[in-house]
Amino acid sequence: MYGRTPEQTPSMGVCFHPAANGGSTIGLDPMTISALRMRRQSRSNHPLGMHARLRQATAQTHAMLDKQFGRFDLRQRSEYRQFLEVSAAALLPLEEALVQAGVEHIFPDWPLRSRSSAILDDLARLGGTVAPVAVLPPLNFGQLLGTMYVLEGSRLGAQILLKRASQSDDPVVAAATAYLSHGTGQHLWRSFLVMLERHAATLNRTISKEQDVINGACQAFALFEQAAAKSLAASPANPAQAR
């Protein structure tokens, strides 16, 4: 059973997480990422909606995860495999928990959104293994929405990571990008945000119900953080960057 950690118990609507620990950003200029974020935020139609609150609550956690994941040089087969193993260690239990919570009734296009098969295919090509970091307790409706936010949002970062992996000279890496390229051209993020706001409007407008959504997002981010920390502790990627 997945033990409750500080990362899962946000106070005042913000995920709590330990201080960031060194690392850099996938060989990208950090300015590029903040420019992308600002551009996306300026296009957002939901300044006061659930999306805006989720983004605000998880911004720091996302920045930390970005640093952790930035330690992997995705052009190198062994590090790309490690990145996928870390991602699968969190993604698989999160998707399983969503299915157990009836995600298909809330997001009927779930079969289009699920990426477990894609990441398992990639790992099979790379000879990777999967060790889920947790078995999650049942998700309630709000937690389900927060979990979906993190998984669907991760597609935005995946577009950047895909460009990096695609620069690999290794044909095995280049052929194992089903996870990172999943949903390309299907506007899944935009359609998710519409459904998120619609569902969020049905939540009782009490702090606890909205807090469930934030808690779900923090828990999902925490799983990725834990998977990355565990893997990097056992086998540091790109040690030159791990200051």
Report yes or no: 130 and 120 within 8 Å, Cβ to Cβ. Answer: yes
What lies within 8 Å, CB to CB, of 194 at 6+ separation is: none
Residue 156 interacts with ligand HEM (CB under 6 A)? yes
Residue 66 interacts with ligand HEM (CB under 6 A)? yes
Smallest gap from Cβ 48 to ligand HEM, in A, equals 14
Smallest gap from Cβ 204 to ligand HEM, in A, equals 23
Residue 70 interacts with ligand HEM (CB under 6 A)? yes
14: helix, strand or coil: strand
Separation between Cα atoms, residue 213 and residue 210, nearest integer Å: 5
Per-residue H/E/C for 165-189: HHCCCCHHHHCCCCCCCCCCCCCHH
Separation between Cα atoms, residue 155 and residue 193, nearest integer Å: 13
Which single residue is written with the structure tokens 């996938």?
A: 26
Site string for ligand HEM, 42-61 (x = CB under 6 A): ---------x---x------
Give the residue with the Cβ less far from ligand HEM, 3 or 47.
Answer: 47
Site string for ligand HEM, 5-44 (x = CB under 6 A): --------------------xx------x--xx--x----
Contact residues: ligand HEM, CB under 6 A: 25-26, 33, 36-37, 40, 51, 55, 62, 65-66, 69-70, 149-150, 153-154, 156-157, 160-161, 224
